Amino acid sequence: MDVPQTWGLRQLLVADISRQRELFGITKPVKGFKLWLSMLSPRFAPVLLYRLAHSFHVMGIGILAKLFSLVNFLVFGIEIAVACRIGPGLFFPHTHGTVIGAVSIGKNAVIYQGVTLGAKDLDFTYDAAHRPTLGDDVLVGSGAKVLGGIQLGNHVTVAANAVLLHSVGDDVVVGGIPAKILKVRNV
């Protein structure tokens, strides 16, 4: 899933905060100062820092992109490649030990702590052929590893501590080491 070029930083942040509030069961709209204050929560601030880093990367201001990415790593323990495109509705219940080096992640992703999304081998050039692409509505459980140039479909759940090394289609639950399909959802 590619993030449409029409999505601006503000639209992405509003979608992210709305998704977080939805997951917490909060239906009352929040505006103004309270909205900005809620963006400083430890579950949302890493998303904000990633969005800023990626925006500066897209604008070609690499030094600021790397600065926001570094702050995210130092404060929240999450390392997200500034080139990774992530759709609206991103949510991190926890962040420490998470490394995201995927090519792209679709909308409404939930990624727990200790997750690695990246290359199977050393890849300092960020070659898309060696990095995973995740679809929409993907949940990646704590400690899971999704490695290599693989594709995950929409509505995929990767179980905690799974090691996924091959592509999977839509509507599946995968788990184990190496991961295999545990369940196919009926839709």
Residue 27: per-residue pLDDT: 75
Least confidently predicted of 28-37, 76-85, 113-122: 28-37
Q: Give dist(CA 126, CA 156) in Å, integer.
A: 24
Residues 148-160 have pLDDT tens digits of: 999 999 999 999 9
Under the banding of pLDDT at 50, 70 and 90, the label for residue 128 is confident
Q: Whole-number mean pLDDT of the chain?
A: 90
Cβ-Cβ contacts under 8 Å for 181 (sequence gap 6 or more):
168, 172, 173, 174
> Quick one: pLDDT at residue 22?
85
pLDDT digits (tens, 9 = 90+) for 94-127: 999 999 999 999 999 999 999 999 998 887 778 8
pLDDT greater than 70 at residue 34: no
Q: Does CATH place domain 9-184 in 2.160.10.10?
A: yes
Which 3-state string (H, E, C) describes 38-95? HCCCCCCHHHHHHHHHHHHHHHCCHHHHHHHHHHHHHHHCEEECCCCEECCCCECCCC
Would you place residue 33 in the very low, low, confident or very high pLDDT band (cuts 50, 70, 90)? low
Instruction: Write the pLDDT tens digit of every residue in 38-54.
Output: 677 888 999 999 999 99
With a cut of 70, say whether residue 36 has pLDDT above it.
Answer: no
Residue 76 C-alpha from the chain's centroid: 14
**What is the model's pTM?**
0.89
Q: Is 33 left (phi over 0), alpha (psi -120 to 50) or beta?
A: alpha
Q: How far apart are CA 79 and CA 93, in angstroms?
A: 15
Looking at the predicted structure, is the pLDDT value of residue 4 above 70?
Answer: no
Q: What is the residue extent of each domain of the chain?
A: 9-184
